[in-house]
């Protein structure tokens, strides 16, 4: 199947991530997906903040820049 057909057949971002990760998914990503599926947005945000903190980056500033780009 070519990439365009694969994209057309995707019904949700969750399905895309599951297909993309396959059976060899990262356990941490699997936990993150479960939190998102269960509507635990505060836990997902805390996860993201921790990752940014570990990398010495500012979550709030980068998220703000992301939102500005999406609104263009």
Cα–Cα–Cα angle for 14, 43, 33, nearest 5°?
Answer: 20
State residue 7's pLDDT score.
64
Nearest-angstrom CA–CA distance, 51 and 53: 5
Return the number of other C-beta atoms located less than 10 Å from residue 63's C-beta: 14
How do the domains of the chain map onto residue ranges?
3-70
pTM for the full model? 0.58
Instruction: Please state, in angstroms and as integers, the Cα–Cα distance from residue 68 to each residue in 10, 42, 53, 72, following that order.
Output: 27, 22, 22, 7
Write out the chain's pLDDT in tens, 72 residues: 566 666 666 667 666 666 666 655 678 877 887 888 888 889 989 988 998 999 999 999 998 988 888 787
């Amino acid at each position: 199947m070519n990439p365009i057909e694969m994209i057309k057949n995707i019904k949700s971002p969750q399905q895309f991530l599951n297909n993309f990760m396959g059976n060899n998914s990262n356990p941490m990503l699997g936990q993150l997906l479960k939190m998102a599926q269960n509507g635990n947005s505060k836990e997902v945000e805390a996860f993201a903040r921790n990752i940014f903190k570990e990398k010495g980056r500012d979550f709030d500033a980068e998220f703000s820049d992301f939102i500005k780009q999406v609104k263009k």
